[in-house]
Amino acid sequence: MATDTVTPTDASDASGYVQPEVDVPALTRLLDGRYAEVRNLVRSNLAAYSSVLEDAETLSREDYRERVKEIVVEMAGTGQTGMGFPEEYGGGGDIGASIAAFETLAFGDLSVLVKVGVQFGLFGGAILQLGTERHHEEYLRRVVTGELMGCFAMTETGHGSNVQALGTVATYDVATQEFVITTTREDARKDYIGNAAEHGEMAVVFAQLEVGGEGRGVHAFLVPIRVRDGEGEMVPAPGVTIADDGLKMGLNGVDNGRLWFDEVRVPRENLLNRFADVTPAGVYESAIENPNRRFFTMLGTLIQGRVCVGGAGINASKVALTIAVKYALRRRQFEASGEQEELLLDYGMHQRRLLPLLARTYALHFAQDVLSASLHDVLTGVREDEHTQRELESRAAGTKALGTWHGTRTIQECREACGGAGYLAENRFAALKADTDVFTTFEGDNHVLLQLVAKGLLTDYASDFQDMDQFGMVRFVAGLAVDTVVEKTRVHGLLERVRDLLPGGDEWDQEAGLLDPEYQLAMYRFREEHMISGAARRLKRGIDNKMDPGVVFSRVQDHVIGAARAHMERLVLEAFVEKTRALPDGDQKVALSLLCDLHALSGIEADRAWFMEHGRLSIQRSKAVSREVSSLCRKVRPLAGDLVDAFGVPEEMLRSPELIGDLVPMRG
């Protein structure tokens, strides 16, 4: 169903190009994939609770928090939020489904989303992944129903990214067989902890374990933080001090708070002991000898949170794009040659602003699909070798960074593309902007996450990968021949093949091949490999010149992060190309291919300076890329309405009467 056949397009141009038509329901099925059922369950739950979008604006913060809690518990009753837990505890036993459910929640109120994430992903996830049967038996059923609300108390005011340096301490007291939890300095208070200010009864607290005077690194403990007083009111447990984080930029339906522990005692059994334990007599035991590795193994089991946040960023973008595209298909501005004003989406600049973001949203959606399938396989044990596990962590980190930055950027551009009307709260952008803003820094700061990706690439997930901090990584890489680094990278060998495929020099100026996915992928792979080896070379050179590793890292940091980005961009493009290729021939495939080309070439265009600097784009060809992007925008433009409809954002989640409601005349 092409949406607008009267608009000037390339629909039947001289070159014989025929505009494809999009089958919207079929495209929705493709996007929803194997989890269509659970996604539809969430869609209908969102529609049922759509009044929360207004509650967010009209209720007091107190009442809004209560309302969000109610909704979370009621949604738990539908099974939607427990998909990731084992069936014996009332869960759905399907990790992939749990991610699909969470992502889809991002179409609606994001306080509900984040509260679900805190309760079931972080708190419940930590018990599931770091605890053992005794914890599962005792707690999981009540966690899954939402009866037992809890916190994930890792971040401290002084340490968010570098969590190995946390200042909370848990000392084992062999006399009473208890752990004694203490906040050792003011900036070691737990901070920004969801569910802490109001609803949490218990917290998974990350603290430095000390047994017999020896530090054993960060471990997780189940700590009751609230108890019922004589009158049945919930009050802070003895030794626990709780404060409210107060008003936030957004997500004010989530009760973030601070926690201090003053010699809080919990039984020995409250150590989440899947990876390490302390015997009653005070002997520390762990199957993983190296303490760094132990710590990162623990963290590794928690990556589901990152996968979920990345998906949420991508799905929040879909809401913004749906509104902005629909608006641009209705709103007219300035007379064209004739009598009527032009539709916004018929302006070339407007196409350039929105359509590459639309294409990238599709690309990231499919990349996220690959990631969550891979997470599912690893967590269900289909694949469990360590290299796969490390790669998965890296991919989760990188996809989270790209997905959440994309969310921030897309929501901003869409807001601006809707003008003053986009500024009214009832039009979703206010909430989308404010609520998603923290996505780029929580569950791992995006820059720190990309450094993690880079570390994996540069060390090929070497056996001591997990032991290395960033300076360790500098020394490790510097200790290798650069060729070794390149050899270790997974795309090894491409450099040469790509060089043949991509003749440089200004004589090679024909446009042929720009729309060949093999060409596009070769460009992305070349960039990735070149940037990884470039970063390695720079690190090595710095150390060889006797510079301090800290200074070396600081100076090479943007190259390191650039390499990680390039790696992730290649993975994203591969996911889109593979998805498109697998489609049967026909209009749908043509349409998706247009979008995939637009994504691939927009990416090359954005970084064309780099490609020119490295001899992979001639001046003529660089200009040709820009022309092609504009041409693809014109071809995608008539499909834009269908392409956003296929996201399947429930109508109730769009609101926006000022933008897409009845007041605005229909497109003609």
556 binds a copy of itself (CB under 8 A): yes
The 3-state secondary structure of 404-422, one letter per residue: HHHHHHHHHHHHHHCHHHH
510 binds a copy of itself (CB under 8 A): no
129 versus 470: smaller Cβ distance to a copy of itself: 470
- Applying CB under 8 A, among 31, 355, 438, 568 the residue interacting with a copy of itself is 438
Distance in angstroms (rounded) separating the CA atoms of residues 124 and 143? 6
Q: How far is the CB of 68 from a copy of itself (least distance, A)?
A: 17
Distances (CA, A) of 168 to 187, 284, 478, 490, 513: 10, 19, 35, 39, 58
Distance in angstroms (rounded) separating the CA atoms of residues 115 and 194? 7
- Applying CB under 8 A, among 77, 215, 246, 280 the residue interacting with a copy of itself is 246
Half-sphere exposure of 101 (CA within 13 A, CB side): 29
82 versus 562: smaller Cβ distance to a copy of itself: 562
Q: Contact, 588 vs 482, CB < 8 A?
A: no
Please identify, among the stretches 39-47, 111-119, 303-311, 427-435, the one whose residues bind a copy of itself according to the rule CB under 8 A: 427-435
Residue type present at position 336: A
Distance in angstroms (rounded) separating the CA atoms of residues 536 and 239? 49
544 binds a copy of itself (CB under 8 A): no
Helix axes 429-436, 386-417, angle to 10 degrees: 150
346 binds a copy of itself (CB under 8 A): yes
39 versus 565: smaller Cβ distance to a copy of itself: 565
- Applying CB under 8 A, among 77, 548, 581, 651 the residue interacting with a copy of itself is 548
511 binds a copy of itself (CB under 8 A): no
Q: Contact, 99 vs 308, CB < 8 A?
A: yes
381 versus 420: smaller Cβ distance to a copy of itself: 420
Residue type present at position 311: G
Q: What phi and psi values does residue 371 have, to the nearest 5 degrees?
A: -60, -45
Please identify, among the stretches 220-228, 426-434, 494-502, 647-655, the one whose residues bind a copy of itself according to the rule CB under 8 A: 426-434
Q: What would the two tokens of residue 587 be?
A: 């209009």
Q: Contact, 313 vs 368, CB < 8 A?
A: no
Distance in angstroms (rounded) separating the CA atoms of residues 84 and 299? 18
- Applying CB under 8 A, among 555, 581, 586, 651 the residue interacting with a copy of itself is 555
Please identify, among the stretches 227-235, 452-460, 557-565, 568-576, the one whose residues bind a copy of itself according to the rule CB under 8 A: 557-565
Q: How far is the CB of 332 from a copy of itself (least distance, A)?
A: 9
Q: How far is the CB of 406 from a copy of itself (least distance, A)?
A: 14
37 versus 558: smaller Cβ distance to a copy of itself: 558
287 versus 619: smaller Cβ distance to a copy of itself: 619
- Applying CB under 8 A, among 275, 295, 327, 429 the residue interacting with a copy of itself is 429
Please identify, among the stretches 186-194, 224-232, 456-464, 488-496, the one whose residues bind a copy of itself according to the rule CB under 8 A: 186-194
- Applying CB under 8 A, among 249, 283, 287, 382 the residue interacting with a copy of itself is 249
573 versus 617: smaller Cβ distance to a copy of itself: 617
422 binds a copy of itself (CB under 8 A): yes
Q: Contact, 424 vs 386, CB < 8 A?
A: no
Distance in angstroms (rounded) separating the CA atoms of residues 598 and 356? 6
Please report which residue ranges of 460-516 form alpha helices under DSSP H. 470-478, 482-488, 494-501
Listed residue (314, 316, 365, 326) closest to 596, CA to CA: 365
Q: Contact, 101 vs 39, CB < 8 A?
A: yes
Site for a copy of itself in 45-104 (CB under 8 A): 57
Q: How far is the CB of 610 from a copy of itself (least distance, A)?
A: 8
292 binds a copy of itself (CB under 8 A): no
Q: What would the two tokens of residue 572 be?
A: 């994203």
442 binds a copy of itself (CB under 8 A): yes
**118 DSSP assignment:** I
Q: Tokens 């596990």 label which residue?
A: 389
505 binds a copy of itself (CB under 8 A): no
Q: What would the two tokens of residue 623 be?
A: 């200009």
Distances (CA, A) of 502 to 8, 159, 569, 617: 35, 46, 19, 8
Please identify, among the stretches 215-223, 316-324, 429-437, 572-580, the one whose residues bind a copy of itself according to the rule CB under 8 A: 429-437
Residue type present at position 188: A
Q: How far is the CB of 472 from a copy of itself (least distance, A)?
A: 10
187 binds a copy of itself (CB under 8 A): yes
- ∠ CA 566-569-575 to the nearest 5 degrees? 145
Q: How far is the CB of 549 from a copy of itself (least distance, A)?
A: 5
Listed residue (170, 68, 145) closest to 110, CA to CA: 68
369 versus 443: smaller Cβ distance to a copy of itself: 443
159 versus 383: smaller Cβ distance to a copy of itself: 159
Q: Is the dihedral of CA 571, 573, 574, 579 positive or negative?
A: positive
Site for a copy of itself in 602-621 (CB under 8 A): 608-609, 612-613, 615, 619
408 versus 520: smaller Cβ distance to a copy of itself: 408
How many other C-beta atoms lie within 10 A of the C-beta of residue 364?
Answer: 26
Please identify, among the stretches 320-328, 361-369, 425-433, 642-650, the one whose residues bind a copy of itself according to the rule CB under 8 A: 425-433
280 versus 505: smaller Cβ distance to a copy of itself: 505
Q: How far is the CB of 587 from a copy of itself (least distance, A)?
A: 25
Site for a copy of itself in 453-482 (CB under 8 A): 469-471
Distance in angstroms (rounded) separating the CA atoms of residues 360 and 354? 10
Q: What phi and psi values does residue 666 have, to the nearest 5 degrees?
A: -60, 155
433 binds a copy of itself (CB under 8 A): yes
Site for a copy of itself in 145-174 (CB under 8 A): 155, 157-158, 160-162, 165
- Applying CB under 8 A, among 18, 227, 481, 663 the residue interacting with a copy of itself is 663
490 versus 541: smaller Cβ distance to a copy of itself: 541
- R_g (Cα) of the chain, nearest Å: 26
Please identify, among the stretches 84-92, 116-124, 329-337, 593-601, the one whose residues bind a copy of itself according to the rule CB under 8 A: 329-337
> Residue 469: enclosing H or E segment and its boundaries?
none
Site string for a copy of itself, 376-415 (x = CB under 8 A): --------------------------------x---x--x
Size of residue set near a copy of itself by CB under 8 A? 82
Q: Contact, 275 vs 287, CB < 8 A?
A: yes
- Applying CB under 8 A, among 70, 147, 287, 423 the residue interacting with a copy of itself is 423
Q: Contact, 218 vs 208, CB < 8 A?
A: yes
End-to-end CA distance of the chain: 16
5 versus 337: smaller Cβ distance to a copy of itself: 337
